Structure formats: structure tokens, C-alpha cells
Amino acid sequence: METNDAANKLLAETEKKEILLHERLNQPLTFFQKTLVDALYALYFDVLGKKPRIDEDAAHHARKTFKKYFPEKLETMTEQLLSDPEAYKQKTDEFEKTCPPVFVDFPTDPSYYRVITSDPSRKLQEVLTRLAFLSNCNSSEKPYYALDMGTGYGRMARIIEDAAKKVFGNKRKYKIFGMDILESNIESAKKLNTELGSRVIFFTRDMNQIPFPSDTLSLVNTTDASYLNFRHRRPFYLAEIARVLSSRDGVCCITNPNENTTLKEYNYVMMRTNYQAYLNPINIIKATVLGKCSLHIDALSKARPDWELTCTEDMTNSLTRALKTEIIRIDNWPKKGGLPIYSGFTFRVTKSTKKAIEKYTLFRESKKAEDEWFDI
Ligand SMILES: C[S@@+](CC[C@H](N)C(=O)[O-])C[C@H]1O[C@@H](n2cnc3c(N)ncnc32)[C@H](O)[C@@H]1O
């Protein structure tokens, strides 16, 4: 089958799936479901008195210091990085010396993480990534290189691989990469390769320093991961994406919890769409492995400015006004039945993007030897 036919067939299937997922996500919360979430919160926080431990003095110091170093908006931070990368890097180092960042490991072992990723809100992420792939997969005959950052056990990298297999078959060369900061996640991703017969190339790196030459990738994806990147480092992450994407056909898809997200709102969504899975005691036990880290992240995002979630409008402005990218689509979900707690951004880099990041690109390229970039 020609690649165009294969892409059109996959596009039709994907769009159908998207409609069904929105229908499920837009259901209202029943009285029973809300009461169950509220009762569990009351039991956990009020009766058992459990609260994630946060260093309140350090959080107070970070709140006071952050505003001395950084502007409030991601858009302005990004502009500052692009106009003087050395100065912005120095500022970041100085801030982190006075306010050491709090790292939280996010384990994604498939034995429990698959329970979470079976939720419609996560399946919608898969649909958006596939649509991003389909938006440029027929753009040329050249090799297609894609990178999934914050890949965890490689869920989205394999979604891209699966789509590439269906559309390209043996007709076009492609390589899919998956990278994550946590070594143990990359180990489980590699182990799964054998089980699934997958050929994704996994490696460990920080999303703020992508080890690929400029202008090489057709697709970059980050699902539910860049919110774990410290707020003042997010400009590096965005500029890196703009640098490695090809000016010919480069497209990126980013999904994240947005400014409306609290752990409680998140649980309302999960309860609405997936409560039967969660009422299964085996799944409850599996999912609680992540409970501790999610509670910690939720508390940090409220207490520390370097952990604050990015709001949809600020992200849109950063992409369009600071980075001059062209938005393909912006999604928020759920659309009805509760607060939209997720945002998805699909965009392409333009010639103006490459111009806007000229200084930054030179800055990064001067470091390629010490960062051990890969050749592709
Ligand atoms: C919530 S999980 C999402 C995993 C995967 N994208 C998915 O949707 O199934 C977040 C992932 O981001 C990774 N991560 C967090 N900070 C990162 C960073 N600075 N660079 C690369 N990966 C990072 C975590 O280790 C974790 O695997």
C-alpha cells in the first residue's frame, strides 16, 4: 500500500478514536464518584493526618528569591534566554546555588504505570502524538527521525514506532528515539523492547540538553513530562526542541497538566472515566506505588515557584511570540463535565523560529563535544 493511503487510513482511525475518547472524558461526575474521592481525601489528610513533607523554610526562600532572578512568565524567560543564552544560564546556576532544586523521581515501571496509562485521558495523549506524526509523515522521502522525551517505559515512543511501521513499512527509513532522565525507566523501556519486538533506541539524558545536531529531527514528543522540569529551565527545553527540529518539516507535540490541575481534580477525572479499574483492589495496590510521588509533586507545585505548572496561555505565547513557531492545534481536556486539566500543543518550527534561536543555537553548538552529541 502507498504511504499516502496508509497514512489516510491511520488518520481516519485516529480521528474516530479521538471522538470516542472525548465522549468518555466529557461525562459528568456522579454523586457517588465525587463522594468517593472526597472521602478518600478526608481519610488520608484529615483522619490519618498524612501530608507530604515539604521543607517550608526552603520553599519560602525559593518564593522570595525566584522573583529576584526570573520574570513571572515563561514567555519572558524564553525571550531572555534567546537574547543572551550565557547570561540566562549563569542566572539559572546562581539561583540553583541559593535555592537547590528538589528532584522527584517518577518511576514508570509498566507493572503499575500501565494501570494509569489505560485511562482515556492518557489514551487521548496517544491520539495527539499519532496526529502529530501524521501531520508531517508524508513531507519528504528523507529519513524520518523522531524523539520522545521523558519517555518513561517508552509508551509514546512505541506509539510513534507503530505509526511509522504502518505508514512507511520498508519504503522510508526511520529511527525512533526515547530518552528519560531516570536510568531505571530507561532500563525497563529497553527490557520491553525484546518483549514487544520493538526497535526504539532508548538512552538516558535530561530534556534540557538534547544530544542531537541542530535541524535533524522530524518529530519531537513530550507527554506529561516537561511539567516535572523546573520552571526556570523550561526555556532551555523549548529552545532545544526548536534547535533539533528540522526547518523543513519539524513538528512537536507536548502534553502536560495545566494551571487547573490539582491532584483532586485529576482524581475526579480518573474516577469519572476509569473508576471500575480503580475499584479493583489489585489495581489500587499497583497504583498506590505512584501515590507518594504524585502527592509530593502536587504539594511542590503549590509551594515552590520553580515547580509551578505552566498555564496554557503563557505556553501558547512562548511558542508563538518568543519562538515564532506555527501552532497546528491546541487541545484542552476534558472539554465538559469538569475543569480542563490537560493541555496539548502541536506546532511546527518555521524559518522565523530558526532566526529567533540563532544565538541560542550557537551557544549550544559550542558545547556539543562536552555534551557528547549523537550522530544520526
Ligand atoms: C509522568 S511520566 C510520563 C512518561 C511517559 N511520557 C508517558 O506518558 O507514559 C514523566 C517522565 O518524565 C521523566 N522526566 C522528568 N524530568 C525529566 C527531564 N528533565 N529530562 C528527561 N526526562 C524527565 C520522568 O523520569 C518520567 O519518566
Question: What residue ranges do the domains of the chain occupy?
Answer: 3-365
Instruction: Give the β-pairing of 251-257 and 342-348.
Output: antiparallel
The stretch 304-327 carries a mean pLDDT of 98
Distance 149 CA to ligand 1 centre (A): 7
Distance 172 CA to ligand 1 centre (A): 29
Distance 222 CA to ligand 1 centre (A): 8
Q: What DSSP assignment string belongs to 354-365? A: HHHTHHHHHHHH
Residue 115: pLDDT band with limits 50, 70, 90: confident
Q: Which atom of ligand 1 is nearest to the CA of 182?
A: 25
Asked whether residue 13 carries a pLDDT value surpassing 90, the answer given is yes
User: What pLDDT is stored for residue 126 in this prediction?
Assistant: 98
Asked whether residue 140 carries a pLDDT value surpassing 90, the answer given is no
Distance 311 CA to ligand 1 centre (A): 19
Residue 50: pLDDT band with limits 50, 70, 90: confident
Q: Which atom of ligand 1 is nearest to the CA of 113?
A: 9
Distance 107 CA to ligand 1 centre (A): 8
| pLDDT tens string 218-253 | 999 999 999 999 999 999 999 999 999 999 999 999
Q: Grid coordinates standing for 298?
A: 502536587
Residue among 106, 183, 263 to mutate when testing ligand 1 (max atoms within 8 A of CB): 106
Asked whether residue 155 carries a pLDDT value surpassing 90, the answer given is yes
User: What pLDDT is stored for residue 1 in this prediction?
Assistant: 52
CA distance 179 to 205: 6
108 alpha carbon, distance to own chain's centre: 14
Distance 234 CA to ligand 1 centre (A): 14
Residue 306: pLDDT band with limits 50, 70, 90: very high
Residue 176: pLDDT band with limits 50, 70, 90: very high
Q: Grid coordinates standing for 356?
A: 529567533
Distance 147 CA to ligand 1 centre (A): 13
Distance 102 CA to ligand 1 centre (A): 15
User: Which residues are within 8 A (CB) of 93 and not within 5 positions of it... i.e. 6 or more apart?
Assistant: none
User: Which residues are within 8 A (CB) of 76 and not within 5 positions of it... i.e. 6 or more apart?
Assistant: none
The strand order across the sheet containing 342-348 reads 201-204, 174-180, 144-149, 219-223, 251-257, 342-348, 326-333
The stretch 177-183 carries a mean pLDDT of 98
Cis peptide before 334 (omega within 30 of 0): yes
Q: Taking a C-beta distance cutoff of 8 angstroms, is the pair 201, 179 a contact?
A: no
Q: Grid coordinates standing for 120?
A: 482515556
Q: Taking a C-beta distance cutoff of 8 angstroms, is the pair 144, 174 a contact?
A: yes
Residue among 111, 117, 181, 205 to mutate when testing ligand 1 (max atoms within 8 A of CB): 181
User: What pLDDT is stored for residue 114 in this prediction?
Assistant: 86
> What residue ranges line ligand 1, CB within 6 angstroms?
106, 108, 117, 149-152, 155-156, 180-182, 185, 206-207, 223-225, 228-229
CA distance 7 to 1: 10
Specify the 3-state DSSP secondary structure of 173.
Answer: coil
Residue 106: pLDDT band with limits 50, 70, 90: very high
Among protein residues, the one whose CA lies closest to atom 10 of ligand 1: 225
CA distance 213 to 221: 17
CATH topology of domain 3-365: Rossmann fold (3.40.50)
The stretch 59-70 carries a mean pLDDT of 98
Q: Which atom of ligand 1 is nearest to the CA of 207?
A: 20
Residue 133: pLDDT band with limits 50, 70, 90: very high
> Which letter does DSSP use for residue 109 in this model?
-
User: What pLDDT is stored for residue 2 in this prediction?
Assistant: 67
Residue among 108, 220, 231 to mutate when testing ligand 1 (max atoms within 8 A of CB): 108
CA distance 329 to 129: 12
Residue 354: pLDDT band with limits 50, 70, 90: very high
Distance 360 CA to ligand 1 centre (A): 24
